């Protein structure tokens, strides 16, 4: 960190890309926060950005170092360093880029910086700024203006961006979070990862890791206080740019702390992670369960995202035979805790669940057949209503007065908020009741060896990648 007099040349603004870049620059400079970055720190970071970019731009197409060029191309497709006709002489290219991060000449004409408002003398074309290039961009230039005024700190930040974001060969993801500590941890992790991509290429990283997992770990690192996060993923392609925004609810840090601090919940979450692990034909992990489970806590703006409840429900309904009574109980508990903590639901489904469990246990025919019947209608409001009426009548007829009536199950069947979630929780409750009563409904016996393997895996910590860390893979 430089002398106090030179500070204040870098600010983290509320623009998500500038902000991610400012955190990256702070990490690269070894500073705790962006506002502690001094002029000489900025010099060093700028020099490193240029050196890394030039090395990548002249690398052979099959060299690992070329992967960093792909990252730059995805963010700045029209910049000098990514241009198809660029020189392949590293020194010439470095000289061409040297002016990018030159100090602002404050004695001439200046304008307020587009991002932070500081006096800026440089006008940057859209080609230098990610997501500024097309109709779908976040910003457009006012008519008659030659370029965007961008101060030196923000110019460095906008090119430190790929270091602070979770990048792939074609996209980048940045984090905005109410807790700065989490933003810093996310940037720290990605700066390390960027270094690895430059040296070993993307194949040097394990497949299947995800930015959502890095975010959850960062949230765990800053404590259980309520805070919201937003992930912005984008591609700045000339033809088909896109931006995808996902968010977590503010109660997520508290929920994570509860999961970690409570053995049945932790076990339930691990079961979820294990069930979501996917392997390719050779047995290598293609999708890490921990990363896939982390995604379930992020909600897409367009509503097209899976949720923890939906996934647990799917596991209970589709893979029923593979769960031990303890598994079922832990998964059901996880679902209820999620509903209560994250969705704010407070429902007592036991009376209705008892009606269905009684009917499955004592009705005519086999319990297995009746469970299959319930499973097939469990999420349908109309069909579940018919089944409940049938079960209710049957129990009366058999001289077992039912524990609940139509008034109790009405909230589950109406077209109102959370009715669908209640039906999913009802299924978890029924499954748990049946197991507690020892009603034999398993369709296939659980393989003992498989069971033992699962028991070993389920004891591992949550939010960890299954094999090794992503960056320890190579």
Residues near Zn ion (CB under 5 A): 113, 115-116, 118, 151, 154
CA distance 135 to 145: 17
Whether 166 contacts 196, CB under 8 Å: no
Smallest gap from Cβ 135 to Zn ion, in A, equals 25
Smallest gap from Cβ 153 to Zn ion, in A, equals 5
Read off the tokens for 351: 């009376």
Q: Judged by CB, which is closer to Zn ion: 158, or 205?
A: 158
Phi–psi pair at 21, nearest 5 degrees: -65, -40
Q: Judged by CB, which is closer to Zn ion: 13, or 313?
A: 13
Smallest gap from Cβ 120 to Zn ion, in A, equals 6
CA distance 169 to 201: 10
Smallest gap from Cβ 9 to Zn ion, in A, equals 9
Q: Judged by CB, which is closer to Zn ion: 151, or 312?
A: 151
Q: Judged by CB, which is closer to Zn ion: 34, or 211?
A: 34
Smallest gap from Cβ 157 to Zn ion, in A, equals 8
* CA dist list (Å): 387 to 22, 377, 414, 444: 58, 8, 15, 25
For residue 403, the Cα-to-chain-centroid distance in whole angstroms is 42
Read off the tokens for 359: 């009917």
Non-local CB neighbours of 161 within 8 Å, separated by 6+ positions: 17, 20, 21, 24, 75, 130, 172, 174
Whether 198 contacts 54, CB under 8 Å: no
Q: Judged by CB, which is closer to Zn ion: 110, or 322?
A: 110
Smallest gap from Cβ 158 to Zn ion, in A, equals 9
CA distance 120 to 130: 19
| 189-222: burial string, b at 16+ Cβ within 10 Å, e else | bbbebbebbbebbbebbbebbbbbbbbbbbbbeb
Smallest gap from Cβ 176 to Zn ion, in A, equals 18
Q: Judged by CB, which is closer to Zn ion: 22, or 316?
A: 22
Q: Judged by CB, which is closer to Zn ion: 49, or 227?
A: 49
* CA dist list (Å): 211 to 120, 214, 434: 33, 5, 39
CA distance 47 to 159: 11
CA distance 243 to 225: 29
CA dihedral (233, 236, 242, 246) in degrees, to 10, reads 10
Phi–psi pair at 246, nearest 5 degrees: -130, 150
Q: Judged by CB, which is closer to Zn ion: 120, or 213?
A: 120
Q: What is the DSSP string of 401-437?
A: --S--HHHHHHHHSSSTTHHHHHHHHHHHHHHHHHHH
Smallest gap from Cβ 126 to Zn ion, in A, equals 17
Phi–psi pair at 174, nearest 5 degrees: -120, 160
Q: Judged by CB, which is closer to Zn ion: 154, or 227?
A: 154
Smallest gap from Cβ 343 to Zn ion, in A, equals 40
Smallest gap from Cβ 150 to Zn ion, in A, equals 6
Q: Judged by CB, which is closer to Zn ion: 111, or 202?
A: 111
């Amino acid at each position: 960190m430089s002398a106090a007099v030179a500070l204040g040349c870098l600010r983290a603004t509320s623009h998500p890309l500038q902000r991610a870049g400012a955190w990256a620059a702070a990490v690269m400079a070894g500073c705790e926060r962006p506002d502690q970055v001094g002029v000489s720190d900025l010099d060093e970071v700028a020099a490193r950005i240029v050196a890394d970019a030039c090395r990548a731009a002249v690398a052979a197409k099959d060299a690992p170092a070329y992967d960093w060029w792909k990252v730059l191309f995805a963010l700045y497709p029209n910049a000098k360093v990514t241009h198809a006709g660029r020189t392949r002489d590293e020194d010439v290219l470095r000289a061409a880029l040297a002016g990018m991060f030159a100090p602002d000449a404050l004695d001439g004409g200046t304008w307020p910086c587009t991002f932070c408002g500081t006096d800026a003398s440089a006008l940057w074309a859209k080609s230098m700024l990610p997501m500024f290039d097309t109709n779908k961009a976040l910003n457009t230039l006012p008519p008659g203006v030659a370029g965007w005024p961008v101060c030196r700190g923000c110019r460095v930040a906008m090119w430190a961006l790929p270091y602070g974001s979770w990048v792939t060969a074609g996209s980048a993801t940045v984090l905005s979070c109410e807790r700065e500590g989490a933003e810093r941890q996310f940037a720290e992790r990605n700066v390390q990862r960027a270094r690895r991509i430059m040296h070993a290429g993307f194949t040097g990283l394990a497949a299947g890791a995800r930015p959502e997992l890095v975010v959850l770990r960062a949230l765990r690192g800053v404590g259980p206080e309520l805070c919201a996060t937003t992930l912005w993923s984008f591609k700045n392609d000339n033809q088909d740019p896109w931006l995808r925004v996902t968010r977590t609810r503010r109660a997520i840090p508290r929920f994570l702390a509860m999961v970690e601090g409570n053995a049945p919940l932790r076990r339930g979450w691990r079961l979820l992670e294990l069930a979501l692990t996917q392997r390719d034909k050779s047995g290598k992990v293609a999708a890490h369960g921990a990363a896939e489970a982390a995604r379930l806590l992020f909600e897409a703006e367009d509503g097209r995202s899976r949720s923890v409840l939906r996934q647990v429900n799917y596991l209970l309904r589709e893979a029923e035979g593979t769960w031990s009574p303890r598994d079922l109980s832990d998964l059901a508990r996880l679902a209820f805790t999620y509903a209560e903590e994250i969705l704010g639901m407070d429902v007592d489904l036991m009376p209705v669940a008892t009606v269905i469990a009684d009917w499955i246990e004592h009705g005519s025919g086999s319990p297995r057949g009746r469970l299959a019947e319930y499973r097939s209608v469990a999420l349908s409001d109309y069909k579940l209503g018919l089944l409940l009426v049938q079960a209710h009548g049957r129990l009366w007829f058999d001289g077992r007065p039912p524990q609940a009536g139509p008034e109790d199950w009405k909230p589950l069947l109406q077209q109102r908020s959370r009715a669908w979630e209640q039906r999913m929780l009802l299924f978890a409750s029924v499954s748990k009741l049946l197991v507690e009563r020892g009603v034999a409904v398993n369709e296939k016996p659980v393989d003992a060896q498989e069971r033992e393997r699962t028991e070993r895996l389920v004891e591992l910590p949550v939010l960890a990648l299954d094999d090794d860390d992503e960056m320890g893979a190579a």
